[in-house]
Structures are given as structure tokens and as C-alpha cells.
Amino acid sequence: MSDSEIQQIQWTIHQTHPDLVQEVRAKLSEVVDPEIGMTIIQLGLIRNVEIEGGIGRVKMLLTTPFCPYGPALIEMTKAKAVEALNMPVNIEMSMDVWDFSMMEDPSALDWGMYA
């Protein structure tokens, strides 16, 4: 899939700190959902990244509210965000319900799971 076909989610740092976007995306792409085998970036689980007062804030959601890997995914996300931003980071959980339309890569829907 070409980059032009990927529906990249626009975070607050795209406007405020565009020089950090690529590094943040790269580090967060190292976090893989072990059940699905895709990164949290591909799945669209990172809904926003912003910096306020020298502290990073990452808003994320999980594919299911009772994801058994949720706590581990949150901790890995925080660690990778700290590496990318080089500052303390708070993770805020979104109460939105995830669905496949939130994914950045539409070709990933070719799992045979959705009609």
C-alpha cells in the first residue's frame, strides 16, 4: 500500500510540533496488538498526541473495552511516547468505541472478518 492510500490521523502535534510527528509515529508503530498482529498506529488506536507545559498527552483507545492485553499496551505506548517525545507522558483513555473504520490502512480490512 502506498503512503497516499493511508488515512493518517492528524494529531495536535501536526500543527504545534510538526518536527516530532515522524518520530512519534515511528516509535508508536513499535507497539503491536498481539491478538491482531497490527500496530497501534495501523489500527488507529492513537487518537491524539499533544504537548502541554512540557508534558506529552496521548489519547488512545483499545479495540475492545476488556482487551486482555490492554494494560500492557498502555504501558508500552507510554514508554514509546516518552522515548519519542523525550519528556513525561500521560496516557488518556478514550471512551470511544473502536471499529475498523478508524484504521489508517484500509487494505488491512482484508482479514476476511468483515463482509
| Alpha carbons 56 and 89: distance in angstroms, whole number | 4
Q: Looking at the domain assignment, is residue 6 inside a domain?
A: no
Q: Looking at the domain assignment, is residue 80 inside a domain?
A: yes
Cα 37 versus chain centre, distance: 14
Q: Looking at the domain assignment, is residue 108 inside a domain?
A: no
| Alpha carbons 77 and 30: distance in angstroms, whole number | 9
Q: Looking at the domain assignment, is residue 31 inside a domain?
A: yes
Q: Looking at the domain assignment, is residue 1 inside a domain?
A: no
Question: Which cell goes with 2?
Answer: 502506498
Structurally, the chain folds into a number of domains equal to: 1
Residue pair 55/48 in contact (Cβ under 8 Å)? The answer is no
Range of the domain at 75: 20-101
Q: Looking at the domain assignment, is residue 4 inside a domain?
A: no
Q: Which residues of the chain have pLDDT under 70?
A: 1-6, 106-115
Q: Tell which residue, 105, 100, 110, has the closest CA to residue 25.
A: 105
Q: Identify the pLDDT of residue 66.
A: 86
CATH code, domain with 82: 3.30.300.130
Q: Identify the pLDDT of residue 110.
A: 61
Q: Looking at the domain assignment, is residue 3 inside a domain?
A: no
